Amino acid sequence: MFTQETIERLRSVQTPYYYYDTDMLRETLAVASGEAANKGFKVHYAVKANFNPVIMKIIAGYGLGADCVSSNEIEHAISCGFPAEETVFAGVGKSDREIETALRLGIKCFNVESAAELEVIDGIAGRMGKTASVALRINPNVEAHTIRHITTGTDENKFGIRIVELESVISTLNELNNIKYRGIHFHIGSQITDLHVFRNLSSRINELWQWLTDRGMEPDDINVGGGLGVNYDDPDRFPPFADYFDIFREHLDNRIRSSVSFELGRSLTANCGSLISTVLFVKPGAGETFLILDAGMTDLMRPALYHAYHRIENLTSKLPAKKYTVAGPICETTDTFGRFISLPETGRGDLIAIRSAGAYGEVMASRYNMRSLPPSVFSDEIN
Ligand code: LLP
């Protein structure tokens, strides 16, 4: 990803910033969309992972739909080239204004989380003279074996309709005049690297499909959500798209005639992005040496928020390795990117890359300490 020539060019840009390797993004998209198409699956891009317009336009060019969680995301996705009729709207708390916007723009489907939400959408659609297509987001109570903070599909989470409530939600749905039932939706968590989890999800989907079909509610579409993890230790390795899609092809009941769709975020954009930063100070501590960067948790929040690991590389030193604690300039102790990390001996002015930051990086940046939001730089601009 970083040739000597690229590093020279990166040096001339004011840090901190996000650097995106657009060739890597395109390769990832080609593999993911090719593997999905081979198996007859449809992929929506989970816009929340990265809504940078340059990235979004590239992704739209591969024919993906969009998975949005706010009306701002819907408007933005459409303006970046995603078709409204391939855009779905998920989220546990959609406001009336957002529902109106989505109906006005003619999106494909609302992923609905409760009977109360169905009634609200029905009322708004009725007033607007429209019919709203919906999928029921079911909480399948399947453990995702990932970071607890990003698990979404078990009984202790706020997301989805619990299986025990399904019967009553369906009877509400069947009484509403401005709602069209399209199918069912799941999303059990993110950064899932144990692919067996998706086998368990497939089994649960088979049971639910049978249960719904027995009640005359066979879904037209089954949306299995996102969650495919990336290898944060090895940022240049592609996520295992083929194995992932194979699991669903093999384990979903072959009597199912519904279309099957996915909502991938992290696996499409994480690898292509790095946060580029300069070392401001090398500061001795008690039993450790701090590298103080000009990038902090305001630029990349994941390590501070979830103790998430990102590989850190020194792009400009080739000296023998030493151990460092890599921290940012923010007035918070959690503003640390990694402790006791092995890096070539590092000095003030060295250029640091924090890898696999293309998903849930730039989009989660904040202005805490009145910092500027990090800008973005693209490989095809500088190479
Ligand atoms: N669909 C739904 C309904 C979701 O809630 C999410 C992510 C996705 C799809 C995309 O999941 P992915 O393929 O990216 O795993 N900020 C956290 C991740 C939060 C994920 C939220 N939902 C992080 O930095 O790890």
pLDDT, tens digit, 9 for 90 and up, residues 276-317: 999 999 999 999 999 999 999 999 999 999 999 999 999 999
Identify the domain boundary among 244, 269, 294.
Answer: 269
Tokens for 153, please give them: 């599909």
Domain stop point among 269, 301, 327: 269
| Token duo for residue 220 | 């037209």
Does position 172 have pLDDT exceeding 70, yes or no? yes
Whether residues 96 and 147 fall in one domain: yes
Cα separation, 321 vs 171, whole angstroms: 64
**Calpha distance 262→90 (Å, rounded):** 13
Query: pLDDT at residue 66 above 80?
Result: yes
* Pocket-testing residue among 261, 263, 269, 362, ligand 1, by greatest number of atoms within 8 A of Cβ: 263
Amino acid 187: pLDDT: 93
Tell whether 182 and 302 lie within a shared domain: no
Mark whether 207 and 297 lie in a shared domain. no
CATH number at residue 369: 2.40.37.10
Regarding the beta carbon of 355 and ligand 1, being less than 6 Å apart is answered no
Determine whether the shortest distance from the Cβ of 122 to ligand 1 is under 6 A.
Answer: no
DSSP assignment string, 257-301: -SEEEEEE-HHHHTTTEEEEEEEEEEEE-SSSEEEEES--TTT--
**Among 42, 44, 45, 48, residue to substitute to test ligand 1 (most atoms within 8 Å of Cβ):** 48
Q: How many domains does the structure of the chain reveal? A: 2
pLDDT at residue number 153: 61
Q: Is residue 296 in contact with ligand 1, taking CB distance under 6 Å?
A: no
Neighbours of 195 (CB within 10 A): 14
150 pLDDT higher than 80: no
Q: Same domain, yes or no, for 291 and 222?
A: no
Mean pLDDT of 90-118: 97
191 CB near ligand 1 (under 6 Å): yes
Same domain, 264 and 282: no
Owning domain of residue 375 = 4-17+271-382
From CA 4, how far away is CA 134, in angstroms rounded? 51
235-244 pLDDT, tens digit each: 999 999 999 9
Q: Does ligand 1 have an atom closer than 6 angstroms to the CB of 227?
A: yes
Q: How confident is the model over 187-242, as pLDDT tens digits? A: 999 999 999 999 999 999 999 999 999 999 999 999 999 999 999 999 999 999 99
* CA distance linking residue 193 with residue 103, whole number of Å: 36
The rounded Å distance from CA 167 to ligand 1 centre is 28
Residues 175 and 239 in one domain: yes
In a shared domain, residues 150 and 93: yes
Reading the block at residue 314, the tokens are: 């020194």
State whether 189 and 280 are in the same domain: no
Global pTM? Answer: 0.96
